[in-house]
Structures are given as structure tokens and as C-alpha cells.
Amino acid sequence: MQPTTANAASPLMSDTETKVPALPPLLDPTIATLLEHSPGRVMELVEQFGSPLNIVWPHILHKNLHAMRSVLQAHGVEHQIFYAIKVNKSQSLVHAAVDAGLGVDASSLYEFRDALRAGAKPEQICGTGPAKPDAFIADLVSRGALISIDSVEELAVLESLLSDYRDNWPIRVTLRYRPSASLQSRFGMTANDLEHCLRKLSTQKAAFQFEGFHFHLGGYRPAPRAEALCELVDWVDTARALGLSPRMVDIGGGIPIRYVESDSYDAFIASHHDGHYRNATTPTSFYPYGGRMDAQKWLSLFLASPCRDGQNIADYLKQENLVLGLEPGRSLVDQTAVTAFRITRVKALGENDYVLFVEGSSFSACETWFNSEFLQDPIHLPCGLAGANDDKPCRAYIAGHSCLDEDVITNRFLPFQSRPQTGDLIVYANTAGYQMDLLENEFHRVPMPNRIAVNSDLTTVVLDDLSGEAE
């Protein structure tokens, strides 16, 4: 029962159609050791908790945090990190973030409640989200959380609540800015709206405590964020001229992570073609799975970007006594989880091509629903039944259990060194960042997959369930 990467190059594959460059996943050493030395333990856990099984190592979040903080500290920048709780429904990851002293970015009433349940102090939570329901706003106000106001209309709702919540004055707010890099976005405010809100806040200082500006951009490049922060420099001055005291600029999330080694990734992208996909379609858009930027490099580049009067961003923030707010999701949960699928049927498509049906669905590994692919090789753990796996190389794509033809975990044909069998496991690494549970549902009335939180040597295994408790 030795683990292999599904795409490990095989000398027997002479057909150019099947010669796909390997994309082995990067693995945290804890996880690599488990998969390499104790695959039977993973089998036991799937036996016990079902397939697919999400396995979470919360302690790895602390490593990611440490790496980010070391850059921020090296630049001497005051910072406040809010864990973007939307990235995963694991409550143990929220606990890990809170235990490490992080704040939480909550985009719904339910995320807010789960953050509180994990022990987050309300004043360390920021409520984001573009169209907060009244009940969410009311809860944020009554608990003294920070509220990122997305629009003139949202400020009006807050103003309408002022008399009911007099005991909770001042209500702590930031204003969400719409950077010039995303003018078509419906999120955040244009210059006119921002000015309108600043003026409103400046006339209601007893009721509102204006704490600064916020933005979040799609994509993962540091440059548009650096530009957006520079665009806010004049707005910080405007706010101060109005007698307000901004203390923070919160740049949202979007710090990238790496799933596969960069050279393999570049080689893959350069050589894959329609013949490598069961639908004969090479997807055109991917997350930068093998990008050359990790969180540390990204933060260094961002902080060193030019800002005002020859100063870089780090110097500007320090000079203006501004705190850098960050809302990392994916980058904080890098490497914290894997998802194991049990193969339920292996169906031949041709001499050497197969479809592997797994217990689980593409709703637990969601990129194909975005016309893309989760581009990394899964790890194949044979179940070890005597004689079950012949060593004939083959290629296979992976499908979910449902009746939807589109329910595929990968459209890509993956080369396998030995033909997978019913009962084998397919393990996807690094699934915590949106992969495992963004689209998760109970289609066909199949219960939600289980999630367990484990410690580094798997001596502690606890259910990390959706009711919000790590038991």
C-alpha cells in the first residue's frame, strides 16, 4: 500500500496523447509522512467516517500565519489580520485562528455566530459582505463589531437604526472603496459615494466611529492592491480634514498560494491539449496553481511598492500611523486539509482509458463547475487487496456518484501507474481553500461529507462538523 502520485511519469506510456506532465501536489511534511507511511490509517478513517472524507490539520494554519507575520514584522508594519472564515466551514480552523489571536472576517450572520462560538471577541470581528441583511447588521451593531459599509444605502440602514441602538454608540465602521482596478464591480463605493459617506459620518461623530477604509479585489496580484492603497492616500487626508480619525486600511484577501511546483506547472501548461481532457476541451482559465509567488513574497512585494513622495507602502503606513488590515482566507488554510474519495466503480472506456466513479461528487471539489480544473494530481492509495491492482499503466478521469453527466471531479485524463480498483482511495491535497465545501450539498439525499480535525500524528481525531462545533 504505497502512495503514488497519479501522474508519476511512466516509461511505458509511449502514446503522446497519454503523456501528461506530472503535477504532483506540494504536501506539508505532516501530511506527506501520513500518506507515505500510514496509508492504512487513512483507509481506516474513511471506513469509519465515510467518503469523501475531509481531514483537517488546524495546527498548520499557525505555520502559515507565522510566515505572514514574519514579513509584516520585518517591515515594522502594524497590522490586524482577520481570518476570512468563508474559506472553509471547519470550526476547528476558526478555533485555530482565534487561538492565534486573529480577528475574523464574517460575511454572514452565521459566520459571525460561529466566530463568536469559537471565542473570537466581537470587537475583533469585521462584518463584510455587500448586502448585509438587517438581522446581521443589528447583531454586528449590538455586539460592537466593526462593520465594513459597502454602499450609501447600507449607511442609510445603519443611520435608521441609530435611535434603537443608542446604548451601542459609537458604531464602528469602515467604508468599502471600489478601486479603479475594478470599476465594473458592484462591490464598494465610487468617489462620489465615498465622499457622501465621509461627510455623513463627520457630522455624526457621537454615533459612528470611523475606523478607516476597506477594499477587496478579485485576482491574486499584489500590484492592483498596491495601486488601490495608493488611491486611498488622498482619501485618508480627506477624512482627516473632515475631523475623522482613520486608523486602518484593510486590503481584503487574495494572497496566493502554490499547490504544485512552479516548473512542473509551467511544463504542464505549455504541453496540455484537448486530447488530455475527456470533453476534448482544454480549460482556458485556472487558479495560478504553480505561481511563483507565495504569501511571503507577495507581502514583501506589496509593502515595498511605491506609494507617496518616494515612500513605499510600508513607510507610508508607518508615517501615517495606519494599521494594515488583511483578510486572508485561502493563504491561511494553505495545506491544512486533504479530501479522500473512495473509488466505488472502475468502468472501462477503451483499451487503456477508464472512468473512476467515486463515493462523493464534484460538489466537493468544485473547479469543473467553473469551467476549470483543480490542477494537481491526486494521490492514489491502493486498498491493498491481493492481486487487485495490476501494474498496467492507464489513464482515467474521475467522476462523482450523481446522475449528472457534468458531475466530474476532473475532466482531465490522469495517467496511473497501476489500474485503480474499487476500494482504492484518491486523495486530493490542499483542499481547504474553497475546494471542499463551497458547493457541497445533499444531492440524491446523500448526507454531507464528514470533516474531521486531527493533530499532527493522528492521535486525536475529532468530528469537525457543520453545526459549527469541533467536538
The DSSP bridge partners found for residue 146 are: 126
End-to-end CA distance of the chain: 31
User: CB of 221: closest distance to ligand PLP in angstroms?
Assistant: 12
Phi/psi for 277 (5° steps) reads -120, 140
Please name the residue that has the C-alpha cell 467604508.
Answer: 175
Give the residue with the Cβ less far from ligand PLP, 28 or 250.
250
Query: Closest Cα to residue 107, out of 80, 91, 119, 125?
Result: 125
245 close to 210: Cβ distance less than 8 angstroms: yes
Listed ranges 205-213, 234-242, 253-261, 304-312: which one lies at the site for ligand PLP (CB under 6 A): 253-261
Listed ranges 16-24, 31-39, 305-313, 325-333: which one lies at the site for ligand PLP (CB under 6 A): 325-333
- The number of residues that bind ligand PLP (CB under 6 A) is 14
Query: Closest Cα to residue 275, out of 15, 24, 22?
Result: 15
Of 151, 264, 331, 336, the one binding ligand PLP (CB under 6 A) is: 331
Phi/psi for 6 (5° steps) reads -60, -30
User: CB of 360: closest distance to ligand PLP in angstroms?
Assistant: 23
User: CB of 214: closest distance to ligand PLP in angstroms?
Assistant: 8
Of 127, 252, 360, 415, the one binding ligand PLP (CB under 6 A) is: 252
d(CA 118, CA 116): 5
Of 58, 253, 290, 400, the one binding ligand PLP (CB under 6 A) is: 253
Is 225 a residue that touches ligand PLP (CB under 6 A)? no
Listed ranges 8-16, 116-124, 252-260, 312-320: which one lies at the site for ligand PLP (CB under 6 A): 252-260
Give the residue with the Cβ less far from ligand PLP, 102 or 399.
102
193 close to 186: Cβ distance less than 8 angstroms: no
The DSSP bridge partners found for residue 84 are: 105
Is 178 a residue that touches ligand PLP (CB under 6 A)? no
User: CB of 447: closest distance to ligand PLP in angstroms?
Assistant: 27
Rounding to the nearest 10 degrees, give the CA dihedral for residues 408, 410, 416, 421. Answer: -20
Is 327 a residue that touches ligand PLP (CB under 6 A)? yes
173 close to 246: Cβ distance less than 8 angstroms: no
Listed ranges 8-16, 306-314, 323-331, 358-366: which one lies at the site for ligand PLP (CB under 6 A): 323-331
287 close to 265: Cβ distance less than 8 angstroms: no
Phi/psi for 327 (5° steps) reads -125, 65
Is 221 a residue that touches ligand PLP (CB under 6 A)? no
Of 178, 221, 272, 330, the one binding ligand PLP (CB under 6 A) is: 330
CA distances 419 to 2, 14, 130, Å, are 14, 17, 48
Please name the residue that has the C-alpha cell 514583501.
Answer: 300
User: CB of 161: closest distance to ligand PLP in angstroms?
Assistant: 22
Of 89, 216, 221, 395, the one binding ligand PLP (CB under 6 A) is: 216
Q: At what angle do helices 191-202 and 222-241 cross, to 10 degrees?
A: 40
d(CA 52, CA 264): 28
290 close to 259: Cβ distance less than 8 angstroms: yes
Is 254 a residue that touches ligand PLP (CB under 6 A)? yes
Give the residue with the Cβ less far from ligand PLP, 21 or 329.
329
Give the residue with the Cβ less far from ligand PLP, 331 or 336.
331
Query: Closest Cα to residue 358, out of 59, 24, 53, 6?
Result: 53
Amino acid at 419: R
Listed ranges 236-244, 250-258, 348-356, 372-380: which one lies at the site for ligand PLP (CB under 6 A): 250-258
Is 151 a residue that touches ligand PLP (CB under 6 A)? no
Residue nearest to ligand PLP (CB): 253
Site for ligand PLP in 18-77 (CB under 6 A): none
d(CA 421, CA 344): 8
Is 329 a residue that touches ligand PLP (CB under 6 A)? yes
Q: Which distant-in-sequence residues (6+ apart) come within 8 Å of 170 by Cβ?
A: 205, 206, 207, 208, 209
Site for ligand PLP in 71-130 (CB under 6 A): 84, 87, 105, 128
Residues lying near ligand PLP in the complex (CB under 6 A) are found at: 84, 87, 105, 128, 216, 252-255, 327-331
